[in-house]
Every structure is written in C-alpha cells, then in structure tokens.
Amino acid sequence: MDEAWTTGAQLAEAVIELLKQKLPLNRENLERTYAESRRASWVESEGRVAEKARDGFHSGVITGMIGMALAGFTQGKVTLNGEPQLTPEPKDYYQGKIPAEELERIIADCRNRGVPCHDALMDRIGWPPIPCDGQLLVSHQDALLLGGKVQAPGGFANHVRFVFPDFCERCIAKLCIEMCSGQAITPGDAGVPAFDREKCVHCGGCLWNCGVSLDDDPQHGNIDFRAGAGGFHSAEN
C-alpha cells in the first residue's frame, strides 16, 4: 500500500507540474517527470531489494519465509532461489478423483454457461459448501467487488490482453479464468477468454498463472498485463 500511495502522489505531482507548464500529458513528458521521480525514490531501491525475496516460496512455505528474511537482512544480496510450478492440467490434477469423461462434461458445461469450473469441480470431489450466515467475513477482493474499488472509467483500452488468441483456443486448463478472483475473466467465444475491465482488481493472478509460454519469450505467458485506470492495486502499474 505504501508503494501505491507514493507512486500515486508522484504521478499527481508530475501531472500538476506539466499542467502548470502547459505541456501535453504524453509519454515523453511523463517519462521525464513521473518516471524519473519514481526511479529516484525509495520505491525503486526497495523494489530491487525485494525483487527475488519471495522466490523461495516456490520450494515451500518455510523456505519462502527464510528467503524473505535473508533478503531483508542483506538488502537483497542473498536470496533463496526457486522455480515456479504451474498448477497441473485438470486432467492430471483430478486423475483418480473424477472419471475423464465426466471431467470433460463438467468443464464443457461450465464453459457453455460462461462460468469458471472450480465450484463445480470442488463440489464433485466432495468439498463441503460454505453457507452464508450473514456474518461471514469477506476477502480483500470481495470487498472491492462490493463497492470498495475504484471502478475503471470508460473510454480506455483493456489493460489485460490475450496476445495470441489462437493460443487460448488450444489451452484446455484456462487457469486465467479459474484464478481470477474478481471474475473479470470468464469463458468467451471460440475458446478465447472474455475480459470485463470493470471487475478487475489488478491482482496479476492471470499474468502469473498463464500456462502458455510464448515461443520467442518463454519467461512470459500469453497475457499482456498493461497499466490501466481503476483498481485498488496493480501488478505492474
């Protein structure tokens, strides 16, 4: 949250400065004012320290906690490495739990209804329902969806973009849909997910969980998460 407040104030100061100088709010001027101010602040230096601090969580919770402590004590000079492991495909995860043909039917039914599959699959393997008694606490994302977030204004391009739609068509798992806590990404036409920018809380879950790697850039998936208006916090803003 400190980063969000600081960078927001830096951007506001840059905009005011440009307006006073009667200069356009274009990329060049914002790079010279806002971007330079951000790079010279503690946000940039602390970001470098924390860049690999959480990598240890890829190997386990204890490893992750130790890695964060090491990064903090050494100012990022010492960290514990770990490689991310994507959630397995549904057919692999539910092997032995749900017959393959039934699994395909459940997924197809959810896709046709335009909803994620996780509720139906969890119900099928026996996860107990959580009844709402009127006193159930809500999560951070739930609070945003209930009205606490800054809604994305109209007239702007989507900040989540599926780079190659044909890659999405061939993707079976579609983890971006299952991981979207705001239900901003849902099943769309021809196998390409649909995106509703007004529901997005900018958590970055889709960006980190896309299981399709680009041929020319294996470190990045098929989702382009760009800066965008609205949202309570952002993965890349």
Displacement of CA 145 from its chain's centroid (Å): 15
pTM over the 0.85 mark: no
Query: Is residue 174's pLDDT more than 80?
Result: yes
Classify the C-alpha dihedral 46-47-51-54 as positive or negative: positive
Query: Is residue 147's pLDDT more than 80?
Result: no
Looking at residue 148, the DSSP 8-state letter turns out to be I
Tens digits of residue pLDDT in 91-109: 888 999 999 999 999 999 9
> Which strand (E) or helix (H) includes residue 46?
helix 42-50
Name the residue among 60, 76, 37 with its Cα closest to residue 68.
76
Per-residue confidence (pLDDT) for residue 138, from 0 to 100: 64
Classify the C-alpha dihedral 107-206-67-82 as positive or negative: positive
Per-residue confidence (pLDDT) for residue 129, from 0 to 100: 80
State mean pLDDT over 212-226.
83
Tens digits of residue pLDDT in 33-59: 999 999 999 999 998 888 889 889 888
Count CB neighbours of 100 within 10 A.
Answer: 11
Which of the two residues, 29 and 131, has the higher pLDDT score? 29
